[in-house]
Structure 1
Amino acid sequence: MEPKNNFNTRRSFLKNITWGATGLSLGSTVLQSCAEVNAQSDISSVAATLKGNIGTTVTRKNIATMSADDPELQLLKDAIGILRKRSADWPLDPAGWSENGALHTKFCATTEFSYQVHYSWYVWPWHRTYLWTLEKKLQHAVREPKLALHYWDWTKKPGIPEQYQGGDSNPLYNDTRRVNPDDIIPFDFMNMGPALRARKFSTFGGYPFYKDGSEPQIDGMAEQSFHNNIHNWIGGEMAGFVAAGYDPIFYGHHGNCDRFWQAWLDADPDHQNPTDEEFLEKVFYFTDEKGKPIEIKVKDVLDTEKLGYRFEDLNFNSPDGDYNSREDLIVPSYEMVKASSVYNTSIEEEQKVQMLTKTDGNEVTQVRLKFERAKLPYMPYCSRVFFLFGNTEPSADNCKYIGTFTILPIVSAEEGKLEKDVYMHVEITKGIAQKIQNKEAIKVFFEPVQVRGRNIPDEPLQIEEITFELLT
């Protein structure tokens, strides 16, 4: 038996909420909508589910702004509690919390490369579908089609929101997290500006997937930076692909990443999703609200309104502010620079000219650092990246902060182990492009970042043959 819902909470919720798509009040329309949902609950068809969403668009909100007694938040907790109880009664219940978490493990922690959705352009549509199917399970659990997932806007609340705290009595709590309740995310971990300014989806969201191993797998700027950084900062189950889907904060974090995808599309009319058939026709495998297997194509999840949800807003905390306005405050440990390895870079002369041309009318442009990872001290590896100019001692004048990145494991299509080649998207200013054009010696320094509960090893990241590649 599933636990009874909090009917007083639900009554208050139904009294106050309105249709997101039509502005109509509830009343008899709710009964009709619920009947439609129940009538189609035996049909494991994406088309039927999408059709059933018409007129029932829900709004996903920033969980950090919701009060502790908010009826929408309580309904979400009730629904998660039901999914948890299902798993407690039967761990293999496909509509339970444990099996939902296992879906993430299967497609994100796998060394079966044909299943892996990271390190390519599939990462964001797969995770959108993952959140959407969970939302359907939660709605079905409490028989309420207006229940909405949430997002955690860490640019406005750069710490674990109290809604995720409170101990085991809170269904949103997870005791594996390594951070303290009052810890603050370093501001450079959340730098979304470069990804927002990425001109192409490949730079922003990842490159095509080559399951035959003919080309390297390359993740996009959003995944490499704030997505990976915050996963690692939280620690515990969130710091690895194997168990991240079991922590409820995963859905707040990825809800914000999903929101950022929409913000990127809205930021510039030239920002477009891929139109390649290989992208649009890709099939994902999930389970519906009753745990029945379903197949969903990428082309079916590119419009959140058609999926039945929208975001409360797309306003982040100045992700598109002046480049390096605060990053200038980030300087490396000069003693560490002297004691550690720095790496010479190479770039073709033609690329130098193109790079300066690209930045001539723009303050910034994106380039790609390519290097061979000879040895990685530990995983995940979080580091701040600096360019060092000239052959003088490192100082504030010749050390320029480029970005903060977390490197996660990459599986090989053929060998099933860590890939040696690493591709890192970075944004450079017009001034840096000019230095490169002037043939100033340029080196790269990786400074490991200390996060709570994990030690930085004495040995540095060892890499070889680092090169620049201008992104077209």
Structure 2
Amino acid sequence: MNNKITSGTNRRSFLKSTAFGTLGITAISTGLISSCKTKPTDENTFGTVSQAINSGASSVVTRKNIASFAVNDPELQLLKDAVAILRKRSEKWPLDPTGWSENGALHTKFCATTEFTYQVHYSWYVWPWHRTYLWTLEKKLQHAVGEPKLALHYWDWTKHPSIPEQYQGGKENPLYNDTRLVEPNDIIPFDFMNMGPALRAKKFMTFGGYPFPYKGQGPQIDGIAEQSFHNNIHNWIGGEMAGFVAAGYDPIFYGHHGNCDRFWQAWLDADQSHRNPLEASWLEKVFYFTDEKGKPIGIKIKDVLDTKKLGYQFEDLDFNSEDGVYNSLEDKVVPSYDLVKASGIYNTSLEEERKVQSVEKIDLANASHVLLKYERTQLPYMPYCSRVFFLFGDAQPSPENCKYIGTFTILPIVSAEGGKLEKDVYMHVEITRSIRDRIGAGEKIRVFFEPVQVRGRNIPDEPLEVKNITYSFV
């Protein structure tokens, strides 16, 4: 059966208005296919894939904000047609590696597991893995319609903080998903999109996650970008998006993660000191996917760090609302202390923490973030979303002694067995100079977890008593 779309007014008008060439994308595809003549574990395969990526992109497509397109835009229609083809392939054969179902299942395999061997979340692998995931899908979509000018889009929720109409309309729209819990007019709370702490993070580990533990000995720790706006918006949407098991089946996943991929580039551009890791254990890490024809491929992180070499770029890196109310760097809109109605308070102090964790003494003058740790098993339900506040001293909350720290979501890990990922939560929180000084002075801190109500989920009435919180400084 020929899946290529070769006619139609929309298709022709899109081609006339697009000035991209096809040579570079074809070179990438050909390289990936030829590289699979050996098993994916053969080291020779990786070199061939690397050469194909690095030499291929004389043509670069531009990924754009999907909310900026008219619902009948020919470029958007091309994307819908391609997704529809992948869906039909899965209807015919659910295990088709170029189909929509198998693409979603791939995310389940590497994101909904407690197996250290496979899990890419809670570590510094999360952003390069998802970039590669989106890129391989883009190749399959391009191949499905025979059009290398097709580009995945991103959903810039700072400019359009509700589900774009491009993802709505019912089952006749291939980008629609009926499990989402939000209503069309629901607005994402501004603090759910709070990017400032991640954008200001000095180190990649704080922004993007910690190294993968050697042989599973040690914790997997995600970065502030993952546990804040990434998780928050997954949870806010609800349905399949509110967990790792089925998120990859909802087309809005790719708009959301396209925006997260865009944010990674924005973080690098925000400060000349921001750098990706240089360790070989990161650069040489191999991810396994399938190419546009379903052939297995292995791709190293070092080969996906330049998006233009992959064949795409972003229309812009501006993460600010058009009305100026939301500013990604300045955090103008944050919850006030008046919202503190905490269901549980845990008392601790820097001195107590040092006794528990034996934190190495560091220069507090250079500390910008605190890493909180507590037990995941204490959470009454998941996904769990909360606003976190620091309260200093023993007094009741006031503007002077209560500080909003951030809004975080803990997404569920599904497993029949207990494991490290199910036991502990590590949470990066940004601290200002005044907070840093008060911590350095040994002032007592109480940590407020204020659960956030989202549509379709209930907050339990029983108090949340979080114990054994410890701190370290980063």
1:391 corresponds to: 394
1:362 corresponds to: none
Spell out, residue by residue over 1:290-334, the C-alpha distance to the aligned partner (whole angstroms, 9 max, x if none): 1111111111111111111100001111654335x322546334x
**Superposition pairs for residues 292-371 of structure 1, below 5 Å?**
292-317=295-320, 319-323=327-331, 325-327=332-334, 329=336, 331-333=338-340, 336-337=341-342, 340-348=343-351, 356-358=364-366, 365-371=368-374
2:232 corresponds to: 229
Please report the TM-score for the alignment, with normalisation by the length of structure 2.
Answer: 0.89
2:287 corresponds to: 284
> Is 1:160 equivalent to 2:167 in the alignment?
no
1:23 corresponds to: none
1:22 corresponds to: none
1:257 corresponds to: 260
**Partner Cα distance (1:167, 1:263) in 2:** 34
Give the Å deviation of 1:49. Answer: 4.1
Pairing partner for 1:204 from 204, 207, 221: 207
Residues 352 and 176 (structure 1 numbering): CA distance in 2 closer, same or farther, change over 3 Å? same
> Is 1:74 equivalent to 2:77 in the alignment?
yes
Q: Say if 1:151 and 1:255, in contact at 8 Å, map to a contact too.
A: yes
Query: Which segments of 5 or more consecutive residues in structure 2 lack a partner in the other structure?
Result: 37-47, 321-325
**Superposition pairs for residues 451-466 of structure 1, below 5 Å?**
451-466=454-469
Give the Å deviation of 1:269. Answer: 1.4
Residues 170 and 306 (structure 1 numbering): CA distance in 2 closer, same or farther, change over 3 Å? same
Spell out, residue by residue over 1:182-219, the C-alpha distance to the aligned partner (whole angstroms, 9 max, x if none): 00000000000000000000000000001523221100
Give the Å deviation of 1:110. Answer: 1.9
SS at match of 1:316: coil
Spell out, residue by residue over 1:396-434, the C-alpha distance to the aligned partner (whole angstroms, 9 max, x if none): 44322110001124589x954653322110011222223
**Partner Cα distance (2:116, 2:412) in 1:** 13
Give the Å deviation of 1:159. Answer: 0.6
2:449 corresponds to: 446
Please report the TM-score for the alignment, with normalisation by the length of structure 1.
Answer: 0.89
Spell out, residue by residue over 1:130-169, the C-alpha distance to the aligned partner (whole angstroms, 9 max, x if none): 0000000000001111110010010111110010001101
1:377 corresponds to: 380
Give the Å deviation of 1:348. Answer: 4.3
Q: What is the total number of aligned residue pairs between the two structures?
A: 450
Residues 431 and 81 (structure 1 numbering): CA distance in 2 closer, same or farther, change over 3 Å? same
1:173 corresponds to: 176
Deviates more, 1:374-383 or 1:283-292: 374-383
Q: Say if 1:347 and 1:469, in contact at 8 Å, map to a contact too.
A: no
Give the Å deviation of 1:36. Answer: 5.6
Q: Say if 1:383 and 1:404, in contact at 8 Å, map to a contact too.
A: yes
**Letter in structure 2 aligned against 1:216:** P
Q: Say if 1:374 and 1:462, in contact at 8 Å, map to a contact too.
A: no
> Is 1:17 equivalent to 2:21 in the alignment?
no
Give the Å deviation of 1:459. Answer: 2.6
Pairing partner for 1:432 from 422, 431, 435: 435
Give the Å deviation of 1:181. Answer: 0.3
**Partner Cα distance (2:433, 2:25) in 1:** 56
Pairing partner for 2:116 from 113, 118, 139: 113
**Letter in structure 1 aligned against 2:263:** F
SS at match of 1:295: strand
Q: Say if 1:281 and 1:298, in contact at 8 Å, map to a contact too.
A: yes
**Partner Cα distance (1:38, 1:445) in 2:** 51
Q: Say if 2:206 and 2:224, in contact at 8 Å, map to a contact too.
A: yes
* Percent of aligned positions that are identical: 70
SS at match of 1:128: helix
Q: Say if 1:331 and 1:401, in contact at 8 Å, map to a contact too.
A: no
**Partner Cα distance (1:348, 1:87) in 2:** 57
**Partner Cα distance (1:42, 1:216) in 2:** 37
**Letter in structure 2 aligned against 1:357:** A
**Letter in structure 1 aligned against 2:288:** Y
Give the Å deviation of 1:369. Answer: 1.2
**Partner Cα distance (1:381, 1:308) in 2:** 37
Pairing partner for 1:400 from 384, 399, 403: 403
**Partner Cα distance (1:466, 1:331) in 2:** 24
Pairing partner for 2:49 from 32, 46, 49: 46
Query: Which segments of 5 or more consecutive residues in structure 1 lack a partner in the other structure?
Result: 20-25, 360-364
Give the Å deviation of 1:10. Answer: 1.9
Give the Å deviation of 1:462. Answer: 3.3
Residues 156 and 236 (structure 1 numbering): CA distance in 2 closer, same or farther, change over 3 Å? same
